Amino acid sequence: MRFVDEFREPELINKTADEIRRLTDPGRHYRLMEVCGGHTHAIYRFGLKDILPSNIELIHGPGCPVCVLPMGRIDDGLSVAADPDVMFTAFGDMMRVPGTQGSPLEHKARGMDVRIVYSPSDALKLAKANPSKHVMFFAIGFETTAPSTALILMRAKAHGLKNFSVFCNHVTIIPAIRAILDSPDMRLDGFVGPGHVSTVIGCRPYEWIATNQGKPIVVSGFEPLDILQSILMLLQQLRKGEARVENQYKRVVPWEGNRAALRAMAEVFQLRPYFEWRGLGFISQSALRIRDEYAEWDSEQRFSIPGIRVTDPKAAQCGEVLKGVLKPAQCKLFGNECTPEHPIGALMVSSEGSCAAFYNYEHRKTAALVGLSASASLSSSA
């Protein structure tokens, strides 16, 4: 398959890994953050950490929108859906994320009208098909999914569809990176930049990271060779003492972004003064709200929202993992109380969460090796 097979070619992967080892200074420890949860998933899925030099440490960033959403926002959305005349719709990865009173799926089991949709247009279709119901779409995502929400709001307004609204939880990536760089306990040498977000916003918004912070950033694709090539490009910059924005993902990401998508977002959304991020706290200008011109289709303006604020369970260390201070397995609950089957934190719920990725690939691989070793020991003793 084009753009997949050639980026999984073993010979090219091995050559790139060899070049990475050649450029790595054995006397230096490198800390590189992959911002996007999709990159974290690919790193564990393809075992890329195992072929990198031990002094290259990959830090998992806050690039999963489900993971950074505080529990209070989930409770707020479900409070609206408690009305029997309201239909709650959301993407599938939101369905198992716990609020204080349970996840959307658990509320569905209690009788609430909760539906999985694959796009905002599916939610709009449900509103047209169910005129006696108010259909609320629980919108979530970085700039990647915000344009589709904007277009659906424009369509709802154009058609005068009054039984549809959006509970907006869209966040923006640049303020989150800024908050990480401002964190006193975070030291980074460079960034593997998000590929999906960059298809919308382009590469130019990252230039301040290189210019003001002196950190190189390479926007990367998601196949094994994409990620390894991006790491190689970072090492080449670091070796020369440079800090630039580079675009490894040119086959998908235009430097200036998708101007049509950006226009749609500007038409429908404006920045919120503040928005709370799980693990990062309140970050100014870091999320989108629906403009007053679309107030009739804004759940927060149509309904009474309690504005619930909830702290994560004390034992869960999602915040430290989100900021890259801890590795997933260093959380006290990881693999014991908190597993994909019984998640406590959002990082274990979402398929792109670093804890879920680590558990499904790294943790299970280690457990299997331990099991094989134990079996071999029993066999030899017998």
pLDDT digits (tens, 9 = 90+) for 19-31: 999 999 999 999 9
Share of the chain above pLDDT 70, in %: 94
Tokens encoding 161: 């569809």
Least confident interval from 78-92, 188-202, 283-297, 316-330: 316-330
User: How high is the mean pLDDT of the chain?
Assistant: 90
Q: Is residue 191 part of a domain?
A: yes
Band the pLDDT of 375: cuts 50, 70, 90: very low
Encoded amino acid at 212, one letter: N
Boundary of a domain, candidates 269, 284, 313: 313
What local confidence, expressed as pLDDT, does residue 201 receive?
Answer: 98
Q: Is the pLDDT of residue 3 over 90?
A: no
Number of folded domains that form the chain? 2
Q: Answer whether residue 149 is part of any domain.
A: yes
Count CB atoms within 10 A of the CB of residue 112: 18
Residue 262 neighbours by CB distance under 10 Å: 18
How does residue 291 score in pLDDT terms, banded at 50, 70 and 90? Answer: very high
**Residues 86-114, mean pLDDT to the nearest whole number:** 92
Give yes or no: residues 72 and 200 share one domain. yes
Same domain (yes/no): 106, 252: yes
pLDDT at position 1 is 57
Answer with the one of 274, 292, 313 that is the final residue of a domain. 313
Q: Are 253 and 202 in contact (CB under 8 A)?
A: yes
pLDDT value of position 65:
86
Show the domain range for 365. Answer: 318-370
Written as six digits, the tokens of 338 are 């908190």
Nearest-angstrom CA–CA distance, 33 and 376? 38
For residues 335 and 229, membership in a common domain is answered with no
| Residue that finishes a domain, picked among 313, 338, 355 | 313
Instruction: Give residue 218's pLDDT band: very low, low, confident or very high (50, 70, 90).
Output: very high
- Measured CA to CA, the distance from residue 75 to residue 339 in angstroms comes to 22
pTM reported for the whole predicted model:
0.89
Question: Measured at the alpha carbon of residue 43, what is the angle toward residues 40 and 47, in degrees to the nearest 5?
Answer: 150
Task: pLDDT band for 365, please (50, 70, 90 cuts).
Answer: low
d(CA 173, CA 63): 8
| CA nearest to 37, candidates 61, 4, 69 | 61
The domain that holds 30 is classified in CATH as 3.40.50.11740
